[in-house]
Structure 1
Amino acid sequence: MSVVVSETAVPALDAVDTPALVVDLERLDRNIARMNATTARLGVRLRPHVKTAKCTAVARRIFGGIGPITVSTLREAEYFFADGFADICYAVTFAPARTARAAALARAGARLSLLVEDVATVRAIAVEAAREGVRFRVLVEIDADGHRAGLRPGDGRLVDVARAVDESTHLDFAGVLTHAGSSYACVGADALRAHAALERDAVVDAAARLRAAGIGCDEISVGSTPTLSHASDLAGVTEARAGVYVFGDLVQSNIGSCALDDIALSVLATVVSHKRDTGRVIIDAGGLALSKDHGTANQAIDYGYGQVCDLSGTPLQGLCVVEVNQEHGLVASRDTAATAAMFDALPIGSRVRVLPNHACMTAAAYDGYWVDGGAALRRWPRCNGW
Structure 2
Amino acid sequence: EEDGGGQAPAAEAAGFVASTVPEIEMLLGASEEYAASIPRGASNPFADVLYGVPISAPKLARIDALLHKFGGGAQIHVLIDHPSQLEICERYVERSRMSHDMARGGGTVSPDTSPYFTAFLKLDAGYHRAGVPPAQSGLELATKLMTSKSVKLRGVYTHCGHSYNATTAAELDDIARDDLDTSRKFLRDLTRHMQSIGWGEYANLRVPRLILSVGSTPSLFHHRRSSSPSGGGGGSDDDDDDDGDTANLELHPGNYALFDRQQIHLGSCRHESDVAGTILAAVIGHYPDRNTILLDAGALALSKDSTPQGGTCSIAGREDLVCLSTSQEVTVVGMKCNRPDGGGTFPFDDFPLGSKVRLLPNHSCLSAACFDRYHVVDEDEEALLLASADDGGGKKKLEDVEVVDTWTPARGW
Whether contact under 8 Å (1:117, 1:151) holds in the other structure is: yes
Distance 2:215 2:95 in 1: 33
* Offset from partner CA, 1:30-55 (integer Å, 9 cap, x none): 99x999x7231xxx6645xxxxxxxx
Please tell me whether residue 100 in structure 1 is matched to residue 61 in structure 2.
yes
Which residue in the other structure is 1:323 paired with? 325
Distance 1:197 1:188 in 2: 14
Distance 1:341 1:149 in 2: 46
Distance 1:263 1:319 in 2: 18
Q: 1:140 aligns with which of 100, 117, 121?
A: 121
Whether contact under 8 Å (2:286, 2:353) holds in the other structure is: yes
> 1:376, CA displacement in angstroms?
3.3
Distance 1:262 1:186 in 2: 20
Distance 1:241 1:177 in 2: 10
What 5-or-longer segments of structure 1 have no aligned partner? Answer: 1-29, 48-67, 310-314
What 5-or-longer segments of structure 2 have no aligned partner? Answer: 32-45, 97-113, 195-199, 229-244, 380-400
Please tell me whether residue 306 in structure 1 is matched to residue 313 in structure 2.
yes
Q: 1:266 aligns with which of 251, 265, 278?
A: 278
Which residue in the other structure is 1:247 paired with? 258
> 1:246, CA displacement in angstroms?
1.5
Segment drifting more, 267-276 vs 112-121:
112-121
> 1:173, CA displacement in angstroms?
1.3
Normalising by the residue count of structure 1, what TM-score does the alignment of the two structures yield? 0.78
Distance 2:259 2:123 in 1: 26
Please tell me whether residue 224 in structure 1 is matched to residue 231 in structure 2.
no
Whether contact under 8 Å (1:118, 1:157) holds in the other structure is: no
Distance 1:382 1:91 in 2: 18
Cα gap change, 1:225 to 1:146, in 2 (>3 Å):
closer
Q: Give the partner amino acid of 1:220.
A: L
Secondary structure of 1:224 counterpart: coil
The equivalences for 1:123-134 within 5 A come to: 123-132=87-96, 133-134=114-115
Q: 1:362 aligns with which of 360, 363, 367?
A: 367
Q: 1:234 aligns with which of 217, 223, 227?
A: 227
How many residue pairs were aligned?
321
The equivalences for 1:271-310 within 5 A come to: 271-294=283-306, 296=307, 299=308, 301-302=309-310, 304-309=311-316
Whether contact under 8 Å (1:46, 1:240) holds in the other structure is: no
Distance 1:117 1:45 in 2: 27
Distance 2:298 2:406 in 1: 22
Distance 1:291 1:209 in 2: 42
Which residue in the other structure is 1:347 paired with? 352
Structure possessing the higher radius of gyration over alpha carbons: 2
Whether contact under 8 Å (2:163, 2:219) holds in the other structure is: yes
Whether contact under 8 Å (2:89, 2:117) holds in the other structure is: no
Distance 2:318 2:136 in 1: 54
Whether contact under 8 Å (2:9, 2:221) holds in the other structure is: no
For the aligned residues, what is the CA RMSD?
A: 2.2
> 1:79, CA displacement in angstroms?
1.2
> 1:146, CA displacement in angstroms?
3.6
* Offset from partner CA, 1:179-199 (integer Å, 9 cap, x none): 001000002321111110011
Report % sequence identity: 31
> 1:120, CA displacement in angstroms?
2.0
> 1:140, CA displacement in angstroms?
0.9
Whether contact under 8 Å (2:298, 2:330) holds in the other structure is: yes
Normalising by the residue count of structure 2, what TM-score does the alignment of the two structures yield? 0.73
The equivalences for 1:1-386 within 5 A come to: 38-40=8-10, 46-47=13-14, 68-84=15-31, 85-107=46-68, 108-109=70-71, 110-132=74-96, 133-153=114-134, 155-212=135-192, 213=194, 214=200, 215=203, 216-217=206-207, 218-231=210-223, 232-235=225-228, 236-237=245-246, 238-260=249-271, 261-294=273-306, 296=307, 299=308, 301-302=309-310, 304-309=311-316, 315-335=317-337, 337-373=342-378, 376-377=402-403, 378-386=405-413
> Which protein has greater RCO, CA pairs closer than 8 Å, 6+ apart?
1
Distance 1:250 1:359 in 2: 8
Q: Give the partner amino acid of 2:184.
A: V
Distance 1:293 1:188 in 2: 21
Distance 1:351 1:45 in 2: 38
Q: Give the partner amino acid of 2:259.
A: G
Cα gap change, 1:131 to 1:34, in 2 (>3 Å):
farther
Whether contact under 8 Å (1:39, 1:46) holds in the other structure is: no
> 1:247, CA displacement in angstroms?
0.9
Q: Give the partner amino acid of 1:371.
A: V
> 1:207, CA displacement in angstroms?
1.2
Segment drifting more, 335-344 vs 139-148:
335-344
> 1:305, CA displacement in angstroms?
0.9
Cα gap change, 1:34 to 1:319, in 2 (>3 Å):
closer
Secondary structure of 2:323 counterpart: strand
Which residue in the other structure is 1:61 paired with? none
Secondary structure of 2:332 counterpart: strand
Larger strand proportion, structure 1 or 2? 1
Secondary structure of 1:317 counterpart: coil
